[in-house]
């Protein structure tokens, strides 16, 4: 199989690279390295079935040719992370929407119907209350569109493009709403909570909790996520599919911080910051976010094999090795 991964030097993208090369597939990554890292794909640069192009999907001149080569495309390229989203709201909209539309247009024009996976986000659900979020729910966007919602709006636009191209051009598109994917190679630089807590715990720093810590999230290991993405890509109908990808076990952010302290045997303390202290502006958080996985399990045979504790233990062990090295 020929696999194109946009944003493939990023966290999830690099795990897709590893997964597909392990199966003997040919993999081409395009990434402008604005949030991805060359370090994430360094082990594969000399692999005979791997090719890396440092380009922006918005302007890459070989996009149509490479889309025509691909049997499957994972579109993971986007401006991501709370800090990036708040700092560059216009870039979020322009980049995330235009890049997705350009890629889908290339797929429609290439004379070939590759399987396409478009990375959306649980952010599109908005503030829903304490319910399991399922794909048929009406979506909630706060009036006035504060900067944090630009990311959700951009991903919702990508979803609409994906389903529209699927139906009009007979392209099998799977739109995946990702829920808090965690694991090796994820950076806390842009606001991701698990790597930030682990780094702080191992360095003896205070674990900084934004808000009161009672907001809940559900976490899934990236090594489970990539298997789900593979199976959804292979089974997406030609009229398109929207599907949550996540784990249905919830935990509060305060409980997560305490779990990190316990697993790392750290003497660090918890420090609570207001959202304005953390982000430098008013921020509307989501109090609860947990996916319904009924549709995911209807379309796939995989079940998560990594518990949150196992993922935390793995991350703690890896970071200890890095710190000692």
**Residues assigned a catalytic role:** 151
Q: Give the whole-angstrom CA distance, residue 55 versus residue 75.
A: 14
3-state secondary structure of 71: coil
Asked if 229 contacts 241 with a C-beta cutoff of 8 angstroms, the reply is no
Strand blocks (E) in the chain: 2-6, 26-30, 50-53, 72-75, 115-121, 132-133, 173-178, 181-182, 207-210, 216-218, 220-221, 241-245, 250-252, 270-273, 290-291
Q: Characterize the bridge pairing of strands 216-218 and 250-252.
A: antiparallel
Read off the tokens for 128. Answer: 């829903």
Cα radius of gyration rounded to whole Å, the chain: 19
Asked if 31 contacts 10 with a C-beta cutoff of 8 angstroms, the reply is yes
303 exposure class (CB count in 10 Å sphere: 0-12, 13-18, 19+): exposed
Q: How many residues does the chain have?
A: 325
Q: How far is CA 285 from the centre of its chain?
A: 18
């Amino acid at each position: 199989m020929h696999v194109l991964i946009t944003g493939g030097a990023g966290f999830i993208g690099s795990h897709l690279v590893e997964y597909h090369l392990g199966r003997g597939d040919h993999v081409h990554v395009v990434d402008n390295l604005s949030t991805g890292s060359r370090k994430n794909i360094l082990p594969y640069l000399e692999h005979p079935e791997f090719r890396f192009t440092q380009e922006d999907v918005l302007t890459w001149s070989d996009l149509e040719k490479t889309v025509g080569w691909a049997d499957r495309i994972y579109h993971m390229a986007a401006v991501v992370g709370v800090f990036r989203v708040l700092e560059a709201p216009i870039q979020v909209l322009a980049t995330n929407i235009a890049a997705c539309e350009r890629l889908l247009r290339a797929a429609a024009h290439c004379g070939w119907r590759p399987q396409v996976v478009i990375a959306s986000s649980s952010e599109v659900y908005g503030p829903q209350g304490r319910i399991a979020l399922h794909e048929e729910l009406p979506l909630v966007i706060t009036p006035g569109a504060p900067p944090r919602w630009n990311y959700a709006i951009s991903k919702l636009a990508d979803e609409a493009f994906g389903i529209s191209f699927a139906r009009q051009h007979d392209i099998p598109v799977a739109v995946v709403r990702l829920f808090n994917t965690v694991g090796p190679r994820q950076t806390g630089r842009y606001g991701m909570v698990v790597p930030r807590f682990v780094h702080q715990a191992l360095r003896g720093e205070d674990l900084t909790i934004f808000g009161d810590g009672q907001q809940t999230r559900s976490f899934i290991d990236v090594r489970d996520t990539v298997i789900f993405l593979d199976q959804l890509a292979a089974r997406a109908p030609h009229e398109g599919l929207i599907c949550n990808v996540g784990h249905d076990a919830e935990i509060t952010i305060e409980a997560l911080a305490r779990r990190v302290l316990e697993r790392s045997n750290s003497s660090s303390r918890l420090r609570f910051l207001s959202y304005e202290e953390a982000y430098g502006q008013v921020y509307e958080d989501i109090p609860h976010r947990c996916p319904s996985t009924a549709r995911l399990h209807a379309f796939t045979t995989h079940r998560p094999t990594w518990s949150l504790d196992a993922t935390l233990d793995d991350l703690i062990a890896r970071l200890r090795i890095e710190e000692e090295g």
